[in-house]
Structure 1
Amino acid sequence: MTQHVCRWRDGNRIALLENGEAFFPAVFNAIAKAQQHIILETFIWFEDNIGWQLRDALLNAAQRGVHVECLLDGYGSPPFSEDFVNPMTAAGIVLRYYDPRPLRFGMRTNIFRRMHRKIVVVDRCIAFIGGINYSAEHMTSFGPQAKQDYAVRLEGPIVDDIFHYSRATLAARDTVRRWWGQNSETLSYQATAPGETQALFVWRDNDSHRDDIERHYLRMLATAKREVIIANAYFFPGYRILHAMRNAARRGVAVRLITQGEPDMPIVKVGARLLYRYLLRAGVSIYEYQQRPLHGKVAVMDDSWATVGSSNLDPLSLSLNLEANVIVHDRAFNQTLHSHLETLIQVDCQQIDETKLPPRRWWNIGSSVLAFHFLRHFPAMVGWLPAHTPRLKQVPLPARPQIEAGDRRETPEM
């Protein structure tokens, strides 16, 4: 795959989109106005009412001559029905699955190394990045299990970086994980003029960019002067991020962490709570979101730094999955996201202190120690594991209907 270099881009227009109510209309409107090219990558695309709206929007674009390419994860997105997919491929939409695997005893086996990115690029003019998938559960009308999440709409030079990256990944016949080594690239961490709508596209892969997103979090925590808010759905990071959060709090930075209080998977809350005491005793404030499952992966620091994307702070996102985030240096955007997170904390969260945690017993002390050291060494352990080579598989064009022998008709002679 072509090597890419992270660069800060000036002069972008960046808008925060909260939940499906803001995200889906913005994406569908951009698709409706597309003239040349659409690239869409997502972890989940369900065949529900949101999925059908996306399908129809892309189909309409393809039928008016727009070139459409989609990449879905083979674990997160189940196979589509023929009625759903055949009109798309017949219209020329290129539909690929990342690492599709057959079911074993009714279960999907490709649990690790998922294509977890959520990216849309339209005509190299507009891009979307965030954590929102294409399913009805991202609409608040879905009910108690509706997910709280964020994405961004981008215009400007940053869009071209996202376009070239996505085109390169789609053009690759496979996505090789070079477990025998990697090429390092130097990342630029500092924006030259914070507050000037600067944006940086960063991603995580299993080749030369294994820890790029994590390194930006670490740098942010190391340079924070006043305040950090991290809202992360699946919080189970390695030692480096935990240590950086603790160090920031100890030097006087107001570090606040928002996690799931009503998780979609109970193990998420259990895992995060194993780490709470370590952070609380350093002065980190922890809040659990109580309204419904939190699915966001966002953070703000001081007055101008912010990030929105697909990367959780857990072993899958930090060590295995393919992820994408955008980092923004802009005071107005920082204040917008900060206001949203402040509202979550004040209205919808419960603050956690040690009195709300299970009493310390020898068995949960032991499990906490084991979990802590597992997290500390997990990325290194993953690097030693042998791995298959995930591949992109294109959905073929629909076959022409076969005529049964009994249904054959004599062709009249002309």
Structure 2
Amino acid sequence: MPWSSGNQLVLLRSGTQYFPSLLAAINGARQEVFLESYLYQPDKIGRQVAAALMRAARRGVQVQLLLDGFGARYLPKAFRKSLAKAGVRLLFFRPEYFSLTINLQRLRRMHRKVATIDGKVGFVGGINILEDHDGPDLALRYDYALRVEGPLVAQLRAMVSGQWRHTCWSQLKMEWHKLPRTGPPPVTCGNIKAKLVKRDNLRYRRAIETAYLNAIGNAKQEVVIANAYFLPGVSLQHALLSAARRGVKVVIVLQGRIDQMLLHYATRVLYQPMLKAGVELYEYTAGFMHAKVAVIDNEWLTVGSSNIDPFSLLTAREANIVALDKTLAGALRTDIQSHIDQFATPVHAHLMERAPWWRRALPWIAYQLVRGLLGLTGYGKQEYRE
């Protein structure tokens, strides 16, 4: 995907900043709204977003809501009917008709969290449509998104409209295939150079991974990654270890609480080689972490939906923004450091070595299970070999 200049990007920290900005944009829509999400819960936030979408549809805005057929499969029928009655066009990407079937295509999910409004404003990040509260004793879910204005919005609009048309065609919704004509391309409104980096199963299979590899390979001073589900393949592992060994400061912030158990323990098989190479590892423990961001040399940054794990890098449809801007990179780097200082625990090699044998064995067992599952599916045979 090409770079574009003249963009304005605003960093949005978790849902407390993201949802007010998204709702304001939807409430101001005059022509069209596209919204993609992997998860959609009919909680307080889900109802607020639905109400804004329905108000837009009633005043003549063409509203397209695309949800993943697995992640949002339990959205209540009454909720769906309310959206449809108001004129919101709701589709599910690869809907789940038979949940007990064994089909490798079920792994190909739509994991993006993207919105575009009137072809002028866009949103990209890791935040699903659901509340940030995971429990009374937990901090709000740790995540990020970007609000986008400028020429880059045209790339976002082309991506979501293309996916919408393809989904309409595959589900014989031809009356929804036609979209309104957009106005002139977005004009320059900032000074940030950025591009959309997406992953699909056609032309852009390795695009996000390649963006990471290139940036890490060119790093001179520092690589900082905050990623909830972290199980990179051999190429990314080597890139990070090589960076650390040549003197680059490598900092990785990971999920400290158990969310996805298999990945949680499989990730820990990487701890010893990373620590031995000089990588700083931290586990975020104040609540659940959902961030998928990185900052390199305080200039290159990425914010998006892609984890650094087999699911995101090998099977799912993902979308990240990559940007070159010292001010924005500095803001993201500062926020990551704030979370490290306040809510994260450093991982020390000597503490891992003193753990009981069964706790030391769990990561190896989990990693072998992941490799076995990848072998069964045919995905990532080379990237996850030992």
1:167 aligns with 2:164: no
Q: Which amino acid aligns with 2:379?
A: V
When Rg is computed on C-alpha atoms for both structures, the one with the higher figure is: 1
Q: Does 1:350 align with 2:349?
A: no
Q: 1:81 deviation in Å?
A: 3.0
Q: Distance in 1 between matches of 2:101 and 2:45?
A: 26
Whole-angstrom distance in 2 between the partners of 1:25 and 1:244: 38
> What runs of 5+ residues in structure 2 fail to find an aligned partner?
172-189, 382-386
User: 1:338 matched to which residue of 2?
Assistant: 333
Task: Give the match for residue 371 of structure 1.
Answer: 367
Over the matched positions of the two proteins, sequence identity in percent amounts to 35
- Normalising by structure 1, we get a TM-score of 0.80
Shift of the 358–99 alpha-carbon distance from structure 1 to 2, 3 Å rule, reads farther
- Tell me how far 1:268 sits from its aligned partner: 3.5
Q: Deviations over 1:322-349 (max 9, x none)?
A: 1100001111100110000111111211
Task: Please point out which of 358, 366, 382 is paired with 2:379.
Answer: 382
Task: Write the distance in 1 (CA, Å) between the matches of 2:113 and 2:107.
Answer: 17
- 1:355-413 C-alpha deviation (Å, 9 max, x unpaired): 222558699579649938976995993179xxxxxxxxxxxxxxxxxxxxxxxxxxxxx
Residues 143, 113 of structure 1: alpha-carbon distance in 2 compared, 3 angstrom cutoff:
farther
User: Matched residues in 2 for 1:72 and 1:364: separation?
Assistant: 39
Residue from 113, 116, 122 that aligns with 1:118:
113
Rounded Cα–Cα distance in structure 1 between residues aligned with 2:106 and 2:349: 34
Residue type at the aligned position of 1:306:
L
Would the alpha carbon gap of residues 83 and 303 (structure 1) be closer, same or farther in structure 2, given more than 3 Å must change?
same
Query: Relative to 1, partners in 2 of residues 1:240 and 1:67: Cα closer, same or farther, differing over 3 Å?
Result: same
SS at match of 2:220: coil
Residue 85 (structure 2) aligns with: 90
Give the C-alpha shift of residue 64 in structure 1: 0.5
Cα–Cα, structure 1 residues 283 and 369, in superposed 2: closer, same or farther, change >3 Å? farther
Q: How does 1:250-261 map to 2 (within 5 A)?
A: 250-261=245-256
The equivalent position to 1:268 in structure 2, one of 257, 260, 263, is 263
Choose the corresponding residue for 1:154, options 128, 142, 148. 148
- Per the TM alignment, residue 199 of structure 1 is displaced from its structure 2 partner at its CA by 0.9
For residues 70-81 of structure 1, what are the structure 2 equivalents within 5 Å? 70-81=65-76
SS in 2 for 1:298: strand
> Aligned to 1:128, what secondary structure does the other structure show?
strand
Mapped to 2, the partners of 1:40 and 1:366 lie a distance apart of 39
CA shift in 2, pair 1:287/1:370, >3 Å: closer
Instruction: Please point out which of 184, 190, 202 is paired with 2:197.
Output: 202
Maintained 8 Å contact 2:40/2:75: no
Q: Say whether the 8 Å CA contact 2:139–2:286 is kept in structure 1.
A: no
Q: 1:208 to 1:105 in 2, by over 3 A?
A: closer
1:332 maps to a residue whose letter is: T
TM-score by length of 2: 0.86
Count of aligned positions: 359
Alpha-carbon shift at residue 92 of structure 1 (Å): 2.3
2:109 partner amino acid: R
- Return the alpha-carbon distance in structure 2 between the equivalents of residues 69 and 210 of structure 1: 25
> Could you tell me how far apart the structure 1 residues matched to 2:372 and 2:248 are?
23
Q: Is the 8 A contact 2:134 2:288 kept in 1?
A: no
Letter matched to residue 48 of structure 2: Q
Matched, 1:22 2:17: yes
1:83, CA displacement in angstroms?
3.2
Matches of 1:228 and 1:301, distance apart in 2: 5
Instruction: Give the deviation of 1:166 after TM superposition.
Output: 1.0
Secondary structure of the structure 1 residue equivalent to 2:112: coil
Task: Return the letter of the residue paired with 2:333.
Answer: H
1:263–1:34: structure 2 CA closer, same or farther, 3 Å change rule? Answer: same
How far did 1:271 drift? Answer: 1.6
Structure 1 vs Structure 2 CA RMSD: 3.0
Q: What does residue 138 of structure 2 align with?
A: 144
* Alpha-carbon offset, residue 296 of structure 1: 0.3
Q: Which amino acid aligns with 2:217?
A: A
Q: 220, 226, 238: which one pairs with 2:221?
A: 226
Structure 1 pair 56–374 and aligned structure 2 pair: CA distance change class (3 A): closer
